[in-house]
Structures are given as structure tokens and as C-alpha cells.
Chains A and B, each alone.
Chain A
Amino acid sequence: MILIIKGESSAMQPIIEIKQLSYRYEKDTVLENINMTIPDGSFLAIVGPNGSGKSTLLKLILGLLKLQTGEIHLFGKGISKFRDWQQVGYVSQKANSFNTGFPATVFEVVASGLTKKLGLFTFFKKEHAAKVNDALDAVGMKRYSNRNIGELSGGQQQRVFIARALVSEPRLLILDEPTVGVDAENVNSFYQMLGDLNTCRNITLLLVTHDIGTISDRVSHVACLNKYLHFHGETNEFEQFRNEDVSKVYGHDVHLLTHHHEHGGVVR
């Protein structure tokens, strides 16, 4: 099944383009013939059960795993030739299993996101501090700047890690199960914050989750993955799809909330 989105931004170069991607670990095929186009400015949720290949797909997009078959293009460039990793921010699932006793302030953690951008043998200056504060502001964590990272709650820590990814001013932000450490009552405001990053700062967001219920009223696009890409399109069309097919992907009925979006898009 090939799905191509033609949204309002179809004239622009897509941020990510995936063609006929397959991946296997030894004998296990985890991804089979994935085709996907992620336009600039979209907020895409990749959903799927555990072991559906979501994390593998992310690792391939991030260049952490080597491509076996198929193609991935980032910002129009083949991934093996892509060098401009500053454009890509990544918040890993492991971000909230770091050493919580680590003696670093929130500010220091976020500043460490500039390490690669600054390069070797350069020092942190005032203008960089302004960037750190701006990133902390974007995730609503500025007043915790001088607290030790270990003193914060899981959700707050996750926000700090997003700020660390934001500080190098990426155009694409990739998040792997970002709400795992977030308390249930804070999940909503967490997605609100992500939505603001998407709309106010025009950052393309790609997040992986198995939490389709809460996510579907926030994102602009959904991709449903379980080895194969079962659905990839705008959120409002996802509802129709899931009535018929989600249980096939998940193997059981899933409770879903879907809200309609104003985006006009066509899925073929």
C-alpha cells in the first residue's frame, strides 16, 4: 500500500521522504516496504503496538541504524550523505532513564545541547546563554533553570530534554515515546506544549507513541505502523480507517478519540 500526502505544503520540499524501506534484524523482518512523505510543518504521530518497528524506523531516520533496503531522504538529501544533523533534534525514550543523581542544573543540561553546534575548542558565551533561556522558555521550564535535574518530576525532566534538543534550533524534532515518564494529569499540557512548538516555532514534529487516544486530537497526521505501514494520512481520515482496521494492527479493539482538523489534504 502506498500512501502519499498532498497537503497545503506539498509544493515545498518534504522534510522526510521514505521509499520502499525494509529492515530486518537477522531473520526477523521488522519493517516491510514502508513509503512515507512527511511535509514541512506537520505534526506526525507514528502509532503502533510494542515491537511494531516504530523505534527501528526512528533509528533509521536518525542514521543510528544502517539502511538495508530502500531510501530515506532528509531535507531532500539521501541519508548516507546527509550531514546537517543540527536540523534534527532528537529526544530518546531513554532520556528519562538517565542517572537522576547526576549533579547538573537544568541550565547545564540544556546548554549541553549546543555541544556539537559550537564544535571543539570553543567556549560557551553570553549569546549561547540567551539561546538556552529561550529553549527553556519554549517548554515552560525557565524558572527551574538553576535546579538540579534530579529534583524535577519525570514530566519536567522530559521538557528539559526537549529544550536540550531545541537549543540548537532544529527544523525537525523527533520524539520517541515522550510521555512515558509524564504523569497522567500532565499529559495534556505536555501535548499542548508540543503543539505550540509546531505552530508557533514552525518545527516539524515526529513522535512515536502507542498512546493513540490522547494524541489524535493534537497531531496533524498519523501513521499506523506494524511491520507494514497500515495507514498514513491526516488525523481526520484516521478515524475512518481505525474503525475498520485498527484492531487488525493492534490485534484488539482500541479506544480512540479523533477530532477534525481544518487542514485540507488528500490521501490516495
Chain B
Amino acid sequence: MIQGLFHYEFLQNAFLTGIMIGILAPLLGVFIVVRRLSLIADALSHVTLAGIAASLLIERSFPIMAGLNPLYMGMVFSVGGSLFIEKLRGVYKHYQELAIPIILSSGIGLGVIFISLANGFNTDLFSYLFGSVSAVSRTDLWVILIISILVIIVIILLYKELFLLSFDEEHAKASGIAAKSIHFIFIVMVALVIAASMRIVGILLVSSLMTLPVAASIRLAKGFKQTIFLSVLFGEISVLGGLFTAYYLDLAPGGTIVMLAVLILVLAIFYKKIMIHKQVDIGGGVK
């Protein structure tokens, strides 16, 4: 595969995209998980599916639009969905999680209608659902690169505010932080990253790349910065390891990446267990 990397453009695309997604998804995932919004990623990925299906339908119905990259439509839907979630969270102040299933089911409903209008599943759609190494085009690569740079700059600039907002939303608001605008920027970034990630891991598995590495690192890390660092590290190992394995064993890359992330999570849980036992032993049974 290393040789293949030099020879085949599609492999280069997949790997470079994978490296970027491996950073972005867990980076945003940390903020999502600590705010207990893990399911937002799921809702938005399903909305993205509706966007992809819409794009494929348009392609089929209007041959002039054949060159349309479904990634764009996916992003439009995903960002739109994130705005709806925010609106709904405002409407159902006391049932904020309700916004997520509403958007999730609307996304699937709409997606299924578009798919049926476009005369059912085809291989193209299948690759969006489960990810594909060969599907990433050069254009996708550039778009994802721009998103990556944008997201990383925003996270660095708004790190203080995002931390405070995640740790203690009430305090953030009380101290006069522009909580609403910052949350809005954040959720739009999440929507963009989800749309960007679907080429590699697939729509159905995007959210796992945002949550599993974070779940593992929370078990081990001391402090927030270390949590971010470990999450990105675990995410990167999962994506690169998963892509290699998938290429050699001819497996779906999305599934392989996710299963690697699950493996890391299980190891992290066991490692933590062992460390706690050791501490108790050293302490001579004193807790």
C-alpha cells in the first residue's frame, strides 16, 4: 500500500483526507461529548444523508447538474439541520435533547423519500453510507483541507470561550460571554466536519469517530488539554490503522476504522481498571 500511495491518486486522497478527519472529528468530539451532546453528531449525519440523496436525485433528474459534488449538498443540509436543532432547543427549553430525535428522524425520512424518487439504492449511495477509500476525489480533498484549516483556527481562537461554555454554560452566560454566537459557530463547524467525514467513514459511522476516541481518552487523561490530545491521537490511530487494514483485507474502511476505535476504547477501559487495582494494592488495601 505504501507503494500504492505513490502511484494511485485515489489512495493519496483517501489517506490525506483520513489524516485530516482523524484530527477534526475527535477535536470537535471532545467539546460535544463533555457537553453531553453526543447524539447531535448522529442527527446531523442523517440530515447529511438527506442532502446526499437530494444531490443524487438532482443529478439523475437534471443531467446538466451531473457534475454536482454531493459533498456540497450534504454540507448545506447538515448546516441547515444544525440551525434547526438550535431553534428547537430554544423552543423545548426543558427538553433540549428532544431536538435531536426530531432532526434525526426528519433527516432519515427526507433521505428515504429522495432515495426512492431516485429509484432506490445504487453503489454510489452505498459508499456514502459506509465510507469508501476510492470515493474521495481531489476536489473533496481540497474542500476538506479548507474546512480543516478553518476549524483548527477557530478552535484555537475560541478555545477559552469553548472551554467555559462546555464546562459551565450558566457561568459563561452570567459572565457575559457571547454564548449564543459561540455555540452557533461551534455547531456549524460540527455540521461541516460531519459532511466532510462521510466520504471516508460513511454517514452511519461518522458520529462514532467523534465520540469513541473521546470516550477512551476521558478514561485516561488528566485535564482538558490532555483529553483533546489523546482523543486526536486515538482518532488518528483508528483512521490510519483502519484505512491500511481495510485496504489489505478488502473491508469497508468505515467499519474497520470504527472497530479499531472500539478496540482502543476497550483497551483504555481495561488499562484504567488495572491501574486502579494496582493503586489499591500499593496502598496496602487502603482506598
Contacts and interface: CB of A to CB of B under 8 A. Distances in A.
Contacts of A114: 160
Contacts of B224: 103-105, 108
Given A98-B167, A146-B222, A120 B161 contact: yes
A187 interface: no
A3 interface: no
A105 B221 CA distance: 10
A113 B167 CA distance: 11
A102 B224 CA distance: 8
Contact of A92 (B36, B160, B170): B170
6 contacts: A92-B170, A103-B223, A104-B163, A115-B160, A115-B161, A124-B160
Interface stretch (B86-94, B121-129, B172-180, B267-275): B172-180
A90 interface: yes
A105 B170 contact: no
Nearest to B30: A103
Interface string A80-104: 0000010000101011001101111
B87 to A, nearest CB: 23
Interface residues of B, number: 27
A101 B221 CA distance: 12
Nearest to B156: A123
Interface string A99-129: 1011111011100111110101100100000
Interface in B216-232: 217-218, 221-227
A149 to B, nearest CB: 9
A85 B222 contact: no
B168 interface: yes
Given A103-B223, A105-B222, A92 B164 contact: no
B277 interface: no
Contacts of A104: 163, 167, 223-224
Contacts of B177: 115-116
Given A108-B225, A115-B177, A102 B157 contact: no
Given A92-B170, A102-B34, A103-B218, A116 B227 contact: no
B278 interface: no
B174 A62 contact: yes
Contact of A115 (B164, B217, B222, B223): B164
B171 interface: yes
B163 to A, nearest CB: 6
Q: Which 10 A-B pairs have the closest CB atoms?
A: A105-B223, A103-B227, A104-B224, A116-B175, A112-B164, A115-B160, A115-B164, A103-B218, A108-B224, A121-B157
A90 B172 CA distance: 11
Given A98-B168, A102-B167, A103-B218, A85 B160 contact: no
Interface in A124-165: 124, 146, 148, 164
Contacts of A99: 34, 36, 167
Contacts of B158: 120
